[in-house]
Structure 1
Amino acid sequence: MGSRETPAERRRKGPRFGANFMSVLEVSRELVCLCGEGLVIDINSAGIAMLGAENGEQVVGRAFRNLVGGDYAGVIDDLLHLKEIEDSAFPIKIVHLDGGTFEAELQIHPARELGPAYAVVTARDISRQGHLARTARHSEDRFQALVERSMHLVLLCHGGRIGYINATGVKVLGGNDPSQFVGIPVSEIFAGEYREIVASDLPALLDEGGVVPMRLARLDGSAFDAQIKATPLPSRGAAPEYMVEARDITGQIRAVAALRHMNDTLEQQVVARTHELAEERFRAVEARAFVESLLEAVPNPLWWKDIDGRYLGYNGAFRELHQISATDWVGRTTAEMVNAEFAAISAKADVKALADTGRIQFEAHLEVAPEKALDVVVNKTVWRARDKRPEGVIGVMLDITERKRMEAELRRLATTDVLTGIFNRRHFMEMARNEVDRARRHGRPMVALMLDIDHFKRINDTYGHPVGDVAIKALADVCTEIVRHEDVLGRLGGEEFAIVLTETDLDGALLVAERLRLAVAAIRIPAEQGIVAFTTSIGVAERLETDTTIDSMLSRADMALYSAKRSGRNKVAVG
């Protein structure tokens, strides 16, 4: 027996259409038509006039894809057959019955309640905007010529899809013609986990602003490293428009790998030569000069110590890192010169190296100045005298601070919501499932809350979407202040939030919900039209013994949320 569809799920699926909706939309000044299996079934009077028809019979029965010009016909057919769902409006050309065209902004809404492959199509005439754009065609042509001759991949995207790709981009992605990419989701050109990040949270990439290291995928399935920069553009419709630039850095990465290999080779040479110097006790002036030159040529910080851990010397990169002279640290130990945490790890590595356990490697946090710390990888090995006895330890260091920062940033993008800074939907669901499993194993209480902003559409319509975003952020801030660190808070989408209260029974949860309700009602947001105040409705659901997943709890909490709204809003209801 299938699970019932929750109100939240019905809301997220978009508008619903009754049998008489075409009569209602007859007053619309935009083209509105009903399509089934891609064919026009009904069309309003404004649509008949926009297509240059005398009556509806001239349009009904036609394939809607034949009314679309340009490269979008195939994509339109997939959307009309509900093979793909595009939430945002996008620009296309509509073909008059007499063969002429006009520019329009198109949006397709699934209407499965009317039929299995039914869709409602709306189109807004944007020819005037197109005329204004053509007056700047000369400048655009010059810009396009520059883009086409760019050494790097350049994309122009509308919503989640590619609208333009330059010749370099086609070549870099292993294609033969721009038509292989125009119209496809922009996430398809990314490889591995990056594709999922872009597909699930494209605004996060747009908000980055700077250059981000990622991996792209060619048509043959192979992947390559690239630096990506996404730049938002002024949008002509509801869907965001943006430019994506990508630079293939495979060659640079190979060069870095070659440099690291050279460093390893130099390190081996240094070790070998250091053995010889230990045997000769630095008696040959020529040998000493050679080794000093060799050590100075190594680009990474390098040092050597005696068996008691005292510095015997170090190269120029080491001196530059610590801002010291050639003799400042000679005869001193690591514990005397750097932070205690790094010194302790380094001392253990020295012991292992002297015990002849081979090359020792470790990562650590090194403080090189009062307000400057680095993440580093250190390699150490023993050097020996003529009789093979250990004489000391040689170390080489690599700065990995930037790599650590990029790894942390990628983890942040994958788990947090850009607007509010709290967990995004995917990470919230993962954390909530873990809490349900833990509560079931140990028989502990747990409560789920669903809440959203009452009359949120009214706020957006009255004060604008920027004020709506401020309201969403304010609600998230209130939730963050009230819930505990061990609780799980996430934004499920739009103005809808969910909270999992761990180790909390129903009475405790109702107290928290009431505090949230009162705190939200006290929020005041200044706007040009005046002070904005709003309330929240909250649904509460306690974990039952029959609950095996978080989904069942959230479903009951969502139904309770709608019960609170039906009873007047600004209330807490239990499901």
Structure 2
Amino acid sequence: MTVIDTHGAAAERRRRGPRFGSNFMAVLEVSRDLVCLCEDGIILDINSAGIDLLAAKDSSALVGRTFCDLVGGDYVQVLEELLLLNEIESQAIPVAVRGLNGATLDVELQIHPARELGAGHAVVIARDISRQGHLARTARASEDRFRVLVEKSMHLIAQCHGGRVVYINDAGAAMLGALRAAELQGMAVADMFHGDYREIFASDLTMLLSEEGMMPVRMADRDGDAFDAQILVTPLPSVGSVPEYMIEARDISDHLRAVAALRHMNETLEHQVAERTRELAEERSKAVEARLFVESLLEAVPNPLWWKGIDGQYRGYNRAFREMHAIGAEEWIGRTMGELLDPDFVKTSHAADLQALGADKRVQFEGRLTLADGLAHDVVVSKIAWRSRADQPEGVIGVMMDITERKAMEAELRRLATTDALTGVFNRRYFMTTLGTEVERVHRHPRPLSALMLDIDHFKRINDTFGHPVGDKAIKAMADACTDAIRTVDALGRLGGEEFAILLPDTDLEAAMMVAERIRVAVSRICINTGIGDVVFTASIGVAQLIEADVSAEALLSRADAALYTAKNSGRNRVVAA
């Protein structure tokens, strides 16, 4: 089969709304709404209602103009993206339109791709809603008052539409290294972030929007320099399926430097404790006074700290250690770790003791330890030997830091980087990485490898009839059906919208067709109760096996996508092999 679409264009065409014939302007001439045809945002033709609405004498006064020149407000950048077909929005957008006589009208605007009429062609439909103008102006006045408050904020505040910044305050512009806020309008939201954060949010915006509460991130200014920040993402009422939201960011670089300085001071304090312990062994005549000083010093250390003899028995510990284990001041004195703590932790800690006693340097390790609250905590332990006047090791001093929250944050970041927020399956970025690795392995060690491309038939109809929440349930149910039908060694990924891909290692085309048919039947049996009617749907599936000509993962997936497109054109609810 010939590869006809290497970048998912077939799937994209299925989602882009109505199609238009060459005579559609004649049909829509009787419409009371403005209807015009644009190419790359330039007006090519307009109906009589549109000529009257814009106060033009005839169509020649409007043809050749850039449509965005007639639009006011904050949505110009967004409309440019829609007219250039960089984004698709199926819902009407309220904007202000200026007629040639200077009058401003409030309209609801819809932009439909019309690629069948030519590259870059779009049909624009505008309905006059001037009667609601008073309410819109009242809302606009409230917005102006809100913006005054936003501009006075000491922190970054940005309003975003989809993946773009449509507004940012002066404090935000200064934080990102811009002279004027206008320089940042229209920038990609992901470009505000640094390193892995930029890659994650650029590949899947839902990861940013799904976060609740304050989130620590690394941001970047316009010169590419990174800084630490806390952000809060707040969803805003959105028109259509493209989300609108507000990002508030606070620079915490100075705070983190202070924390680092405190940590350094804590490490310095550990060293001071070890030095003072050696002094106690050398100055036995001042033992009582020195012991009282050291005990006061250790009690002030915020981290759990203890010291043991060379026999492994506890000689003492500070307040933080007692609180961590919920013990008294003398309860563990003279006892060993083996009597009191988790066997696995004891084994690792004992090895660290021997290493510290055998070398005059600090030894550090990580482990899991069950504390008095009954929970297992991730901890990092630092140990160093304390020595006699003859410079012989007398025992070990240890200090502990609880890093459970940091470990949990690292695990969550890894999860966000690899999974889709709605379905829990692999996201597009991680699935493509997995597929690329598997294709390279097959080229080195030949064995069968197949891939499936599948999506929900007439998915737009489900969204339009029952709403996007039901559409999300359909996507989740589809993912669950696929998960139940495949092996643990197989990989399921959501590529976007209702489109999924499945990687089947060690599977030839015949076996892959059987898996695809099993999935097709399982999807056809899904029934979602909405309260206003049951939703049932089907899926179309394209199947391809890796061949010698497939030099990359994209080539294999493109052939499966072409087969999927054939399944759609052949009536849907079927499996087609490439």
Return 424-433 or 515-524, whichever deviates more. Answer: 515-524
1:496 to 490, 496, 499: 499
Q: Is this contact kept in 2: 1:7–1:558, CA < 8 A?
A: no
Instruction: Quote how far apart the aligned CAs of 1:516 are.
Output: 1.5
Q: Counterpart of 2:349?
A: 346
Alignment match, 1:554: 557
- Check the 8 A contact 2:77/2:186 in 1, yes or no: no
* Alpha-carbon spacing, 1:198–1:50, altered in 2? closer, same or farther (3 Å): farther
TM-score, normalised by the number of residues in structure 2: 0.90
- 1:10 matched to which residue of 2? 10
CA contact (8 A) 1:213 1:228 kept: yes
Name whichever of 169-178 and 293-302 sits farther off: 169-178
- How far apart are the structure 1 equivalents of 2:323 and 2:202? 44
- For residues 362-382 of structure 1, give each alpha carbon's deviation from its aligned partner in whole angstroms, at most 9, with x where no partner exists: 222222146422222221111
Q: Is the 8 A contact 1:487 1:502 kept in 2?
A: yes
Contact 1:86 1:108 in 2 (8 A): no
Report the CA distance shift for 1:103/1:159 in structure 2 as closer, same or farther (over 3 A).
farther
- Cα distance, 1:487 vs structure 2: 0.6
Is the contact made by 2:74 and 2:166 (CA closer than 8 Å) also made in structure 1?
no
Does the 8 Å contact 1:450/1:558 carry over to 2?
Answer: yes
1:460 shift after superposition: 1.8
One-letter code aligned to 1:200: S
From 446, 452, 465, the equivalent of 1:443 is 446
1:315 to 315, 318, 321: 318
1:223 aligns with 2:234: no
- Contact between 1:445 and 1:505, CA under 8 Å: does it hold in 2? yes
Question: Any idea what the Cα deviations from partners look like across 1:60-97, whole Å, max 9, x if unmatched?
Answer: 122334323356667866876x5x82334766532211
Q: Which amino acid aligns with 1:185?
A: A
Secondary structure, counterpart of 1:352 in structure 2? helix
- 2:52 maps to what in 1? 49
Counterpart check, 1:280 vs 2:283: yes
Residue 87 of structure 2 corresponds to 86
Q: Which runs of 5+ in 1 are unaligned?
A: none
- In 2, Cα distance between the equivalents of 1:376 and 1:198? 31
Which deviates the most, 315-324 or 143-152? 143-152
Q: From the superposition, tell whether residues 28 and 216 of structure 1 become closer, same or farther in structure 2 (CA, over 3 Å).
A: farther
Equivalences for 1:436-475 in 2 at 5 Å? 436-475=439-478
Q: 2:193 aligns with which of 190, 193, 200?
A: 190
Q: Please state if 1:522 is matched with 2:525.
A: yes
Aligned CA RMSD, in angstroms, stands at 2.8
1:10-33 CA-partner distances (Å, limit 9, x unpaired): 332646766445445546665443
Q: Equivalents in 1 of 2:378, 2:358: separation in Å?
A: 26
Q: CA deviation at 1:184?
A: 2.5
Moved more, 303-312 or 367-376: 367-376
Kindly report which structure 2 residues correspond to 1:16-415, keeping only aligned pairs within 5 A, or say none: 19-23=22-26, 26=29, 30-36=33-39, 39-70=42-73, 82=84, 85-88=86-89, 92-104=95-107, 120-123=123-126, 125=128, 127=130, 131-136=134-139, 139-281=142-284, 283-356=286-359, 358-369=361-372, 371-415=374-418
What's the CA shift for 1:493?
Answer: 1.2
2:64 counterpart SS class = coil
Give 1:513's aligned residue.
516
* Residue in structure 2 matching 1:479, options 465, 478, 482: 482
Q: Deviations over 1:321-349 (max 9, x none)?
A: 12112222222222322222222221111
Equivalents in 2 of 1:212, 1:327: separation in Å? 42
Shift of 1:227: 0.8
Q: CA deviation at 1:158?
A: 2.2
CA distance in 1 between counterparts of 2:575 and 2:130 reads: 49
The DSSP-based 3-state class of the residue aligned with 1:382 is strand
Distance of 1:7 and 1:264 partners within structure 2: 54
Change (3 A) 1:371 1:498: farther
Contact 1:215/1:226 (8 A) holds in 2? yes
Q: 1:270, 1:282 → 2: CA distance?
A: 19
Kept in 2: contact 1:226–1:250 (CA 8 A): yes
Q: Which has the higher contact order (CA 8 A, sep 6+)?
A: 2
Q: How far apart are residue 292 of structure 1 and its match?
A: 0.8
**1:208 partner SS:** coil
Distance (Å, rounded) in 2 between the aligned partners of 1:114 and 1:566: 20
Aligned residues: 572
SS at match of 2:493: strand
- CA distance in 1 between partners of 2:561 and 2:285 (Å): 79
| CA displacement, residues 278-335 of structure 1 (integer Å, 9 cap, x when unaligned) | 3335852221111111111111111111112222111111111121122222222223
The DSSP-based 3-state class of the residue aligned with 2:366 is strand
Please give the alpha-carbon distance, in whole angstroms, between the structure 2 residues aligned to 1:39 and 1:368. 69
Give 1:480 deviation, angstroms: 1.3
Structure 1 CA distance, aligned partners of 2:481 and 2:132?
42
Distance 2:82 2:378 in 1: 49
CA contact (8 A) 1:536 1:571 kept: yes
Paired with 1:548 and 1:361, the residues of 2 have a C-alpha distance of 47
| Farther off after superposition, 514-523 or 134-143 | 134-143
**1:377 partner SS:** strand
Q: Is the 8 A contact 1:72 1:183 kept in 2?
A: no
Alpha carbons of structure 1 residues 375 and 129: separation in structure 2 relative to 1, 3 Å: farther
Deviation at 1:128, TM superposition (A): 5.4
For residues 473-511 of structure 1, give each alpha carbon's deviation from its aligned partner in whole angstroms, at most 9, with x where no partner exists.
Answer: 001011112211111100111111111111223333233
Is the contact between residue 433 and residue 549 of structure 1 (CA under 8 Å) also seen in structure 2?
Answer: yes
Cα 1:67–1:140 shift into 2, 3 Å: closer
Residue 533 of structure 1 aligns with an amino acid whose one-letter code is V
- 8 A contact 1:282–1:288 mirrored in 2: no
Per mean C-alpha deviation after superposition, the further-off stretch among 133-142 and 170-179 is: 133-142
Q: Deviations over 1:229-248 (max 9, x none)?
A: 11111123442211111111
TM-score, reference length from structure 1: 0.91
Please report how far the alpha carbon of residue 108 of structure 1 lies from its aligned counterpart in structure 2 after TM superposition: 6.0
Contact 1:214 1:227 in 2 (8 A): yes
Amino acid at match of 2:378: D
For residue 522 of structure 1, what is the amino acid of its counterpart? R
How far apart are the structure 2 equivalents of 1:124 and 1:183? 26
Structure 1 residues 562, 246: CA separation in 2 closer, same or farther (over 3 Å shift)?
Answer: same
Q: Give the aligned residue type for 2:88.
A: D
- Find the aligned partners of 1:140 and 1:570 in 2 and give their Cα distance: 48
| Alpha carbons 1:108, 1:122 under 8 Å: kept | yes
Structure 1 position 125, deviation (Å) = 4.9
Distance 1:134-1:92 versus aligned 2 partners, 3 A rule: closer
